[in-house]
């Protein structure tokens, strides 16, 4: 499992998940958006990092008394200490938000350790506290019951599903105010470059539309004048 280069990371910090989805769509990848997860604090900037995964299965009552957490090798607790700085923990909670995937103390610990973010297709408990942290977190909805109620962590860093998307360890995860997208590790660099370029064009188009220009010929750029104007705009803007 590699890590995205700093250049790729920097570019992905500035583009939207929507733009990335379009770049993935052009390559035949239509299911990379983690469905129905939301940022606890939409004001934080983009979340970018390689995926570190955690897999939950339904909790069997006899295996999940409150005492399990006294074992430091419990996969959930181990994952919190092992997730590398710069990585994003992605949890397969089977789209089950009726019990928590994790709470504020664990998320805080990950923040202190330098992790880049955390995502679950279930819910976090202590959501109001997590929303005040500086590390991005995404979930379906707040969920106060302890994870032992419905979830048992069993695997670290295996391929998982999260919100109907496939997540392979090392894939590059990007989150913005809209949600979270999964970029296959092998194409992260090219997607970053393409999305960065697309973003410049979209910013140009937005300015033009705001100034009253029709989208016909402009978006997409079927009128050659659009391309000319865009080149001039880039030069003027230094982009």
Segment 43 to 62, residues that bind a copy of itself, using CB under 8 A: 57-62
- At 105, list the tokens: 């103390």
Only one of the segments 4-12, 44-52, 105-113, 229-237 lies at the binding site for a copy of itself (rule: CB under 8 A); that segment is 105-113
- Nearer Cβ to a copy of itself (6/68): 68
If one counts every other C-beta atom within 10 angstroms of the C-beta of residue 104, the result is 19
Only one of the segments 5-13, 44-52, 155-163, 231-239 lies at the binding site for a copy of itself (rule: CB under 8 A); that segment is 155-163
Q: Do residues 128 and 98 touch, judged by C-beta distance below 8 A? A: no
Only one of the segments 5-13, 82-90, 108-116, 226-234 lies at the binding site for a copy of itself (rule: CB under 8 A); that segment is 108-116
- Nearer Cβ to a copy of itself (49/175): 175
* 3-state per-residue secondary structure call for the chain: CCCCCHHHHHHHCCCCHHHHHHHHHHCCCCCCEECCCEECCCCCCCEEEEEEEEEEEECCHHHCCHHHHHCCCCHHHHHHHHCCCCCEEEEECCCCCCCEEECHHHHHHHHHCCCCEEEECCEECCHHHHCCCCCCEEECCCCCCCHHHCEEEEEECCCEEECCEEECCCCEEEECCCCEEEECHHHHHHHHHHHHHHHHHHHHHHHHHHCCCCCCCCCCCCCHHHHHHHHHHHHHHCC
The binder of a copy of itself chosen from 2, 10, 45, 214 (CB under 8 A): 214
Closest distance between a copy of itself and the C-beta of residue 129, in Å?
Answer: 8
152 binds a copy of itself (CB under 8 A): yes
- Nearer Cβ to a copy of itself (3/77): 77
- Nearer Cβ to a copy of itself (66/236): 66
Q: Do residues 174 and 188 touch, judged by C-beta distance below 8 A? A: no
Interacting residues with a copy of itself between 169 and 188 (CB under 8 A): 176-179, 181, 184
- Nearer Cβ to a copy of itself (8/46): 46
82 binds a copy of itself (CB under 8 A): no
- Nearer Cβ to a copy of itself (6/176): 176
Closest distance between a copy of itself and the C-beta of residue 24, in Å?
Answer: 8
Interacting residues with a copy of itself between 6 and 45 (CB under 8 A): 16-18, 20-22, 25-33, 35-36, 38, 42
């Amino acid at each position: 499992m590699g890590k995205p280069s700093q250049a790729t990371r920097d570019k992905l910090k500035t583009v939207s998940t929507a733009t990335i989805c379009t770049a993935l769509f052009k390559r035949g990848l239509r299911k990379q958006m983690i469905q129905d997860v939301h940022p606890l604090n939409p004001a934080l900037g983009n979340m970018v990092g390689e995926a570190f995964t955690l897999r939950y299965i339904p909790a069997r009552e006899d295996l999940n008394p409150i005492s399990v957490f006294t074992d430091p090798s419990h996969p959930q607790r181990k994952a919190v200490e092992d997730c590398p700085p710069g990585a994003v923990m992605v949890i397969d909670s089977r789209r089950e938000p009726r019990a928590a995937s994790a709470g504020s103390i664990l998320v805080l610990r990950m923040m202190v350790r330098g992790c880049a973010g955390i995502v679950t297709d279930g819910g976090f408990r202590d959501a109001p506290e997590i929303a005040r942290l500086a590390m991005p977190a995404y979930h379906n909805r707040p969920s106060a019951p302890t994870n032992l109620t419905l979830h048992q962590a069993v695997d670290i860093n295996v391929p998982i599903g999260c919100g109907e998307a496939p997540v392979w360890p090392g894939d590059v995860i990007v989150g913005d105010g809209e949600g979270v997208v999964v970029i296959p590790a092998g194409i992260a660099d090219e997607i970053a470059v393409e999305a960065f370029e697309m973003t410049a064009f979209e910013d140009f188009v937005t300015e033009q539309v705001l100034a009253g220009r029709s989208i016909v010929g402009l978006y997409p750029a079927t009128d050659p004048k659009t391309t000319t104007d865009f080149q001039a705009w880039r030069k003027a803007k230094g982009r």
